[in-house]
Amino acid sequence: MIGILGPTASGKSFVAESLAAELSAQLINADAFQVYLGFDIGTSKPKESGRYLGIDLLNPDEQFGVGQWIRFVLPHLESCFNNRQNAIIVGGTGLYVRALFEEFSDMSCEPDPALRAELQAQLADKGLTSLTDELIKLDPSTTVDLANPVRVTRALERLRSTNEFQFALPPYRKLKFALLPTVAATDRSIGLRLRAMMDEGFVEEVRRLIEQGVPKEAPAFRAIGYRTILRLLEGEIVGEEALSSIETETRRYAKRQRTWIRSEPNVNILEAETPDEFLSAMRLWLSANGGV
């Protein structure tokens, strides 16, 4: 079972798909927003999404979190293991990968009353921003409405609860890799990818979602770029301003992902510049460490 992490636009999907072809592995999505139907271009959904499990699972207005993702993934991993098939889990939502590989047991929906009281006191004393900052630090890809104090508090309760949701992984050999390009390389990739997304029809995708009746407050619209495109469509900003805003937001997200990776347990960090170099580095690591 191989996990592949990395900042946005680092080439995770390319590396995962290439390895999956070589290892006859099942690809499993670990991106919090690629689970939503219709949110394709802005989430960089893989072109061959049919190769993955965990893509296009939900309507855009449905809530989804790490506990639900774990419950979705487990039976598929058990099936793969029973069929002697490798599995590759890939995506930018580090919390999902960490919770799965480290077999976290703190995802209960019933929080400790003392924890709830602590969070309510924090909300009263320091305001909502202190809670949203903590939530984003713990789960950078959260889909929770950050303007809603009840939902922010509940999300923090679930993440910090000491109550247990017990699960056990099949006895795979577990390997976790982080692709870590330089900041300059990441910034270049983000700029190139954003312009490609615009050429592919990002604006038209958002317009179509609104025409289909997807509410603007839907959790899926928290994916980076979508609300900025909404402002563009509503005439609040112009095209270059939208591009600059999305690029800045994406770079900040990549920075948070790097911070997360630095605290990731049991991870093998690979440093390179391009997806091809990362793929070569991972092949070399596997070959030098007993293969798969």
Cβ partners under 8 Å of residue 235, min gap 6: none
pLDDT per position as a tens digit, 236-272: 999 899 999 999 999 999 999 999 999 999 999 999 9
Could you tell me if 87 and 80 are in contact, meaning their C-beta atoms sit under 8 angstroms apart?
yes
Model's pTM, two decimal places?
0.84
Distance in angstroms (rounded) separating the CA atoms of residues 281 and 28: 21
Residue 51 phi, psi dihedral angles, 5° rounding: -80, -10
Scored b (16 or more CB within 10 A) or e, 253-262 reads: bbebbbebbe
pLDDT per position as a tens digit, 118-161: 888 888 888 999 899 888 877 877 777 888 898 888 888 877 76
Number of other residues whose CB lies within 10 A of the CB of residue 148: 14
Measure CA 200 to chain center. 22
Q: How confident is the model at residue 108 (pLDDT cuts 50, 70, 90)?
A: very low
pLDDT of residue 162: 45
Beta-bridge partners for 3: 89, 176
Q: How confident is the model at residue 111 (pLDDT cuts 50, 70, 90)?
A: low
pLDDT of residue 117: 79
Residue with more model confidence, 158 or 50: 50
Residue 163 above 50 pLDDT? Answer: no
Token reading at 172: 């795979």
pLDDT of residue 64: 85
pLDDT of residue 105: 56
Query: Residue range 227-242: average pLDDT?
Result: 95
Q: C-alpha distances in angstroms, 281 versus 9, 100, 269, 288?
A: 17, 24, 10, 11
Q: How confident is the model at residue 112 (pLDDT cuts 50, 70, 90)?
A: low
Could you tell me if 43 and 69 are in contact, meaning their C-beta atoms sit under 8 angstroms apart?
no
Could you tell me if 29 and 52 are in contact, meaning their C-beta atoms sit under 8 angstroms apart?
yes
Average pLDDT, the chain: 91
